[in-house]
Structure 1
Amino acid sequence: MHLVHCLLLLLAGLLALSHGQQPPKHHSKGHIRHTHQEVPAAGEGSPSLKIIPGNTVFALRFYHLIASQTPAGNIFFSPLSISAAYAMLSLGVRSPSRTQILEGLGFNLTEVPESDIHRGFQHLLHTLHLPGDRLEVRVGSALFLSPELQLLPRFQNDSSTLYESRFFRTNFLDSVGTIQLINNHVKNETRGKIVNLVSEIRPDTVMVLVNYIYFNALWEKPFARLMATPQDFYVDEATTVKVPMMLQDARHHWYLHDRYLPCSVLRLDYQGKATALFILPNRGKMKQVEQVLTPQMLRRWSSLLQKRYFYRKLKLYIPKFSISGSYKLDQILPKLGITDLFSQPADLSDITQQLNLQLSRSLHKAILEVGESGAQAAAATSHSFTFLSRDRHQALWFNRPFLVAIFSTNTQSILFLGKVVDPTKP
């Protein structure tokens, strides 16, 4: 009987909004590219569109679970990073555990065959990596392997071709050196924003899988850099904090005050094929809005905010802040139906037949930084949406907890999802 050796899965997500500079152009150095394979263009009928419903379902399931566990805390994560990593890992897992993973990621396998899921991720990642003048998106995976571990050719080829994975050999007996190698790789790939992702490694570890996402963009309409002033942000009925607020004075924006729900929704576009939805519940109505946060509601808001009627002049206030989220996925995903991977029943023999692998831990960390070319808000009274006199402009104040979703518009994918409850807590 083989001894159990451990696989550690680490995920790092990052949303970085630069402060007025153009993001650096994407370079593919070190990434495995398969240019000899023709990847279909984005658009109607593209393979990635088949996985969007599943990815969205997973994103919102994950959000609702975290929100139920920490109702009064900030939330921020990258559903795409998690989905891509576990879909890739499923290549090395035998059924029924493989089916369990894919269904836990939100996919209906009677409607979307497994092969379409992997081709969909291949196309999605390829599309995200297309260079843009004002937008940089980097999503990638890396496997750190012990020198004696031999991967099965099919897993190695498929993870490289479909998910653009890279492979590194390292001596896990040298835990300090291995930890430094992994953390340096993640730090480099996220432009220095995510550091010390892993702090310890078990001595029986033979493989570490890392997935990361890096997003750097400029607002289509940046905020004035010298307008920030400390203002009140109402965390809850008993807590008020001071945050630097910025103003966009009387510019046209896409926004609406929902007729049927107690919230306002703002769309802010990036330079490039990405956009953000900021959802501001009325005071005390966060739970009510969260209850209707569904794929259908996101589509409804996105559809409405393409109508010219909702493109109007607005005084806009959003806080300048930085928040992060760290999650132990081995404790969260079993509650979403992915249980075998973190227990003995999982069969990972399609990765290697040398050892009996078991997934020991799975971590995810994401950071959101919002500055002058990102989102900023101003202090306000208890009202978030104020109607002024007829000869003046309306004003939208993000001075209390709100939701944020970052989308890639050409892939229709949620890159990041979160809730800002206290912008002073990182």
Structure 2
Amino acid sequence: MMRAAVGLWVLSAVICVGRGHHHLGHDDDKTIQDTVVDGSANSVSLVTEANQEFSFRLYRKLAADADSQGKNIFFSPASVSTALAALSVGARGETHRQLFSGLGFNSSLLTQTDVDQAFQRFLQRANNTSQDTTEGTAVFVDNRFKPKPEFLQTLKQSYLTDGFNVDFTNVTESADTINKYVEEKTNGKIDKLVEDLDPNTVMYLISYIYYKGKWETPFDPELTKQDDFNVDENTKVSVDMMNMDDDFYTYHDRELNTTVLQLPFKSSYSMLLMLPDVMATLENGISPNHVTKWLKAMMRPRKHDVYIPKFSIKTSYNLNDVLSEMGMADMFGDRANLTGISEGLRLAVSEVVHKATLDVDEVGAEAAAATGIGIMLMSGFWGPVPVLKFNRPFMVLITERNTEKILFLGKIINPTI
């Protein structure tokens, strides 16, 4: 059963900040405050830019992956980057460098604290300023595994992490516990994030995101008709095609040969639909700068007769190979350095999984995603203690270890005679 690990978050020591006797005047105070604010804002900006770039780099990796050919691609870069950033809290050495580099964080300009504070702002903003979206993280820790208190405290403070104790020796029950949590947080959209747990799992870190928004101008269901959708030159499928004749914000990007349609929700969110002449041109060229340019260029709406299919898709990814190809390989193997989580045990990431859903209809859109990171012991330390009973005839040998010289050798049939 899942139980909230209330004690998990209690630090055993109080951290005190020493204060000198030098008295700062009001001008000095203001200068320091302005510097801190400017530095913090700059860090948030740098992390934001990195997250945007990561979104398209990860997309291109997924699109190029053999398993994605001929399939829909849909994922939440925000969920993936949040989960990996939370993991980086416990990474050290080359493993940490790879995570920062893979996420696009410039380690000469950003410290771990900068990144943590930026994600704290992102999560607080998402949950405080919008009724449409919910984001968060959680960590599930084995009953017998004791992570560093400072690691858990950073997750709690910066990533707003819920903490729970579970028994990972019972893989079925613990997987059900994680899945039920994710299902609840994503309004039932992601109901089975964890398929198979590694029996050596001692910690499972997840991030989730749920969004539901209503179109600013909804489509009229009476105008939705069956129509063809061209999958490729040789394949057509029948879809429910929504239709609206109205003023829309659009932009044609000549560089990418792509027409962009903006569908605003009743909030600060919008959906951008991109219709390219050649998909590869858009996929290989799109960047955060394009999105910025499109939104700025959409100054006034123009009359269009718009057709969009209703659809509902689900996607599922194991990101181990993709993230390794993006430079984050060490965390998955013998070279993993996760000593920021625990120094006494050799830990590695067993899996990074991601699932997402998107539903689009006349009323609006609903989207959800979750990312799971399994953290395991490199040996079966937590497995059941094997029972070894010498309760039948056995052999015995006494040797000198260095020379392997056998001093005694025998067989015991009855130890009482």
TM-score interval (norm. to shorter): 0.7 to 0.9
Return closer, same or farther for 1:71/1:201 CA change in 2, 3 Å cut-off. closer
1:134-167: CA deviation from partner (whole Å, max 9, x where unpaired): x421111111111111121110110100000111
1:214-255: CA deviation from partner (whole Å, max 9, x where unpaired): 111111111112322110000100100000011112x11100
Q: Any idea what SS the aligned residue of 1:208 has? A: strand
Aligned residue number for residue 290 of structure 2: 297
Aligned residue number for residue 104 of structure 2: 106
CA distance in 2: counterparts of 1:326 and 1:259, whole angstroms: 33
CA contact 1:51–1:117 (8 Å) conserved in 2: yes
CA distance in 2: counterparts of 1:89 and 1:365, whole angstroms: 18
Aligned residue number for residue 320 of structure 1: 310
Aligned residue number for residue 113 of structure 2: 115
1:151-185: CA deviation from partner (whole Å, max 9, x where unpaired): 21110110100000111111112222111111110
CA contact 1:150–1:354 (8 Å) conserved in 2: no
1:238 is matched by which residue type in structure 2?
N
Matched, 1:61 2:54: no
How do 1:390-401 and structure 2 match up within 5 A?
none
Q: Any idea what SS the aligned residue of 1:337 has? A: coil
The equivalent position to 1:287 in structure 2, one of 240, 263, 280, is: 280
Q: Kindly indicate which of the two structures has a greater share of residues assigned to helix.
A: 2
Q: Any idea what SS the aligned residue of 2:54 has? A: helix
Return closer, same or farther for 1:260/1:351 CA change in 2, 3 Å cut-off. closer
Aligned residue number for residue 75 of structure 2: 77
The equivalent position to 1:269 in structure 2, one of 260, 264, 268, is: 264
Aligned residue number for residue 359 of structure 1: 349
Q: Which has the larger radius of gyration?
A: 2
CA distance in 2: counterparts of 1:222 and 1:48, whole angstroms: 35
Aligned residue number for residue 393 of structure 2: none
Aligned residue number for residue 362 of structure 2: 372
CA contact 1:223–1:373 (8 Å) conserved in 2: yes
- The number of equivalent residue pairs is 330
More displaced stretch, 92-101 vs 157-166? 92-101
Q: Any idea what SS the aligned residue of 1:369 has? A: strand
1:301 is matched by which residue type in structure 2?
W
Aligned residue number for residue 180 of structure 1: 176
CA distance in 2: counterparts of 1:288 and 1:261, whole angstroms: 6
The equivalent position to 1:258 in structure 2, one of 247, 253, 260, is: 253
CA contact 1:268–1:276 (8 Å) conserved in 2: yes
The equivalent position to 2:215 in structure 1, one of 219, 226, 239, is: 219
CA distance in 1: counterparts of 2:42 and 2:228, whole angstroms: 46
2:264 is matched by which residue type in structure 1?
D
Note the C-alpha offset of 1:290. Answer: 1.7
Aligned residue number for residue 329 of structure 2: 339
CA contact 1:118–1:162 (8 Å) conserved in 2: yes
Q: Any idea what SS the aligned residue of 1:77 has? A: coil
CA contact 1:255–1:267 (8 Å) conserved in 2: yes
CA distance in 2: counterparts of 1:204 and 1:92, whole angstroms: 18
2:362 is matched by which residue type in structure 1?
E
CA contact 1:149–1:354 (8 Å) conserved in 2: no
1:275 is matched by which residue type in structure 2?
S
The equivalent position to 1:194 in structure 2, one of 177, 190, 193, is: 190
1:193-218: CA deviation from partner (whole Å, max 9, x where unpaired): 11121122122211111211111111
Aligned residue number for residue 130 of structure 1: 128
2:262 is matched by which residue type in structure 1?
R
Aligned-residue sequence identity (percent) comes to 35
CA distance in 1: counterparts of 2:327 and 2:167, whole angstroms: 34
Aligned residue number for residue 162 of structure 2: 166
CA contact 2:43–2:110 (8 Å) conserved in 1: no
How do 1:211-250 and structure 2 match up within 5 A?
211-249=207-245
Note the C-alpha offset of 1:257. Answer: 2.5
Q: Which segments of 5 or more consecutive residues in structure 1 lack a partner in the other structure? A: 1-31, 33-39, 376-405, 407-414, 417-426
CA RMSD of aligned residues (A): 2.2
1:356 is matched by which residue type in structure 2?
R
CA distance in 2: counterparts of 1:222 and 1:292, whole angstroms: 32
Q: Any idea what SS the aligned residue of 2:322 has? A: helix
CA distance in 2: counterparts of 1:89 and 1:260, whole angstroms: 38
TM-score for both structures, normalised by structure 2: 0.75
Q: Any idea what SS the aligned residue of 2:348 has? A: strand
CA contact 2:171–2:197 (8 Å) conserved in 1: yes
2:251 is matched by which residue type in structure 1?
L
CA distance in 2: counterparts of 1:221 and 1:265, whole angstroms: 18
CA contact 1:121–1:162 (8 Å) conserved in 2: yes
CA distance in 2: counterparts of 1:178 and 1:45, whole angstroms: 40
1:124 is matched by which residue type in structure 2?
F
CA distance in 1: counterparts of 2:48 and 2:233, whole angstroms: 38
Aligned residue number for residue 140 of structure 2: 144
CA contact 1:253–1:267 (8 Å) conserved in 2: yes
TM-score for both structures, normalised by structure 1: 0.74
How do 1:29-68 and structure 2 match up within 5 A?
45=41, 48-68=44-64
